[in-house]
Amino acid sequence: MEEQLLFIDFEFSMPDGKQYERGFYPEIIEAGIVVVRKQQIYKTISSYVTPVAFPKLTNRCKRFLGITQEEVDNGIAFSELNELFTELSANKKNKVVTWGNMDMKVLRDNCSKSNMSFPLNGDFIDLSMEYKRFFGNRNQTGLWKAVQEYGKDGVGKHHRALDDAMTTYHIYKLVEKDKQYMKKAEPTTIGDVVDFSKLFNNQLA
C-alpha cells in the first residue's frame, strides 16, 4: 500500500467577542492540504468551505482571517470536503500531520454535527507536540514562531490555510532532518580505543 503524508490546516468560523451565540460551534471555512508521496509534493488543495449552522461570518472572523462573506458563500459544501478526504485517504497508508490538535477536533465535530463519517484514516501527528518534546520546550510554540526559530520564513500569509499547511510541511522536514542527526551512534567500546593485539605483543616482547 502506497504511503502518503497529508499536511492539513483549517481556518474556522469564530464568534464576535467572548459572547458565544447560542449553540455556536466552529465550522471549517477554509481548507489547505499538501499531499506528499515519495518525498515529493504530489498535489496541493486549497478551498473555501461554506458554513452551514452559522452561515454569516462575524466581523471579528472576517477581520482576523481576512476572509470575506462572498468567498465562503462561493466555497464548496462541507460534504464535498468530506468526500475529498475520503477519496484522498482511501487505499493509502496515511500519516496525517497538523500543527496543534484543533484541526482534527473541529473536523470530527463538524462530521458529527453533519451526521457524516470521519473521512481520514492512518496515523495522526500533532507536529507542535513533537516539536515541543524534541526541543524540550515548556510551552507549545506557534507555527510561525517555530519556523522562525529555524531561521526560516513561513510560506505566504499566516492564517491562510494552504500557506499554513505548507509551512507545517517545511517544519516537518526540518524536524525529521534534525532527528536523523540526533540518532545515537553505536556506543564506543574499549576495543575501538585500544588495539589489544599491539598491547599483548608489547607485553610479550
Q: Give the other-Cβ count within 10 Å of 15's Cβ.
A: 15
Find the largest Cα–Cα distance for the chain: 93
pLDDT for 123-164, tens place per residue?
Answer: 999 999 988 887 777 777 788 788 788 777 767 777 799 999
Domain 3-204, CATH? 3.30.420.10
Single out the catalytic residue among 30, 159, 176, 186: 159
> Residue 196: is its pLDDT beyond 70?
no
Q: Give the other-Cβ count within 10 Å of 156's Cβ.
A: 12
pLDDT for 8-48, tens place per residue?
Answer: 999 999 998 766 677 899 999 999 999 999 999 999 999 99
More confident residue, 82 or 18: 82
Burial of 171 (0-12, 13-18, 19+ CB in 10 A): buried
Residue 191 has a pLDDT of: 47
Q: Give the other-Cβ count within 10 Å of 142's Cβ.
A: 13
pTM assigned to the model: 0.84
Q: State the cell numbers at 109.
A: 465535530
- Residue 166: CB partners within 8 Å, gap ≥ 6? 7, 32, 34, 44, 155, 156
170: annotated active-site residue: no
Single out the catalytic residue among 2, 11, 87, 158: 11
Beta strands in the chain (DSSP E): 3-12, 28-37, 40-48, 93-98, 123-126
159: annotated active-site residue: yes
- Dist. CA 160–CA 152, nearest whole Å: 18
